[in-house]
């Protein structure tokens, strides 16, 4: 399912998809790569766009997109313990020694990349510095800017307004020669 497509800012009906997935015995993944920032909004309508994500088996979010966390930063969470190890484990004994201190916390066998840098640290530091209120302010400011741009695009005859949802605003420039034709 989708929570914030990159072009239209579209959000699926997550509770309905969760119901279908549950009835059919399907894994429900929510791709909130772009729209996941809505989780932090202080505005009910914006936060409501991701309503039902808690019903999913997994959710991903890219804080480097709307939140401005330095690239690259991805969050992937799942309610199913052990599934990442099952999907990605290669069991390379030369890499993952089961007898080392805190072996159960080694992320290497839980990811495709095996030895990724600690991308989560960037998110943690930014969240620690800004707090929940700072994150909400960032999201809500972006939504306000998008609403402002949408209003300007609707009101200006040089533009043809197409769509506005979430922080996505689509419009195009109507050249003066075509403006005259449209009016004439």
Q: What's this model's pTM, rounded to 2 decimal places?
A: 0.80
Residue 180 exposed, middle or buried by CB count within 10 Å (0-12, 13-18, 19+): exposed
- Output the pLDDT for position 70: 87
Q: Which residue carries 């609403």 as its tokens?
A: 147
| 170 and 162 Cβ atoms separated by less than 8 Å | yes
Find, among 62, 42, 60, 50, the residue nearest to 123 by Cα. Answer: 62
- Output the pLDDT for position 83: 82
DSSP symbol at 71: S
> Could you report the per-residue pLDDT of 105-138, keeping only the tens digit for each?
666 655 656 655 667 889 999 999 999 999 999 9
DSSP symbol at 11: B
How much is the average pLDDT of 19-47?
A: 97
Contacts of 133 (CB under 8 A, 6+ apart): 42
How many CB atoms within 10 Å of residue 184?
5
Better-scored residue on pLDDT, 100 or 166: 166
Q: How far apart are CA 56 and CA 79, in angstroms?
A: 8
Q: How far apart are CA 103 and CA 66, in angstroms?
A: 34
């Amino acid at each position: 399912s989708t929570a914030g497509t990159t072009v239209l800012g579209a959000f699926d009906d997550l509770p309905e998809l969760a119901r279908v997935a549950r009835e059919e015995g399907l894994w429900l993944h929510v791709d909130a790569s772009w729209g996941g920032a809505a989780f932090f909004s202080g505005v009910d309508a914006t936060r409501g766009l991701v309503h039902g994500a808690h019903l999913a088996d997994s959710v991903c979010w890219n804080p480097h997109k709307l939140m401005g966390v330095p690239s690259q930063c991805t969050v992937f969470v799942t309610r199913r313990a052990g599934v990442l190890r099952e999907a990605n484990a290669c069991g390379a004994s030369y890499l993952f020694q089961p007898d080392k201190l805190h072996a159960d916390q080694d992320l290497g066998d839980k990811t495709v990349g095996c030895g990724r840098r600690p991308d989560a640290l960037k998110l943690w530091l930014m969240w620690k510095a800004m707090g929940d209120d700072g994150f909400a302010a960032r999201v809500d400011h972006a939504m306000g800017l998008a609403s402002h741009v949408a209003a300007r695009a609707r009101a200006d005859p040089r533009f043809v307004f197409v769509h506005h949802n979430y922080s996505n605003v689509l419009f195009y420039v109507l050249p003066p020669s075509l403006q005259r034709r449209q009016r004439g």
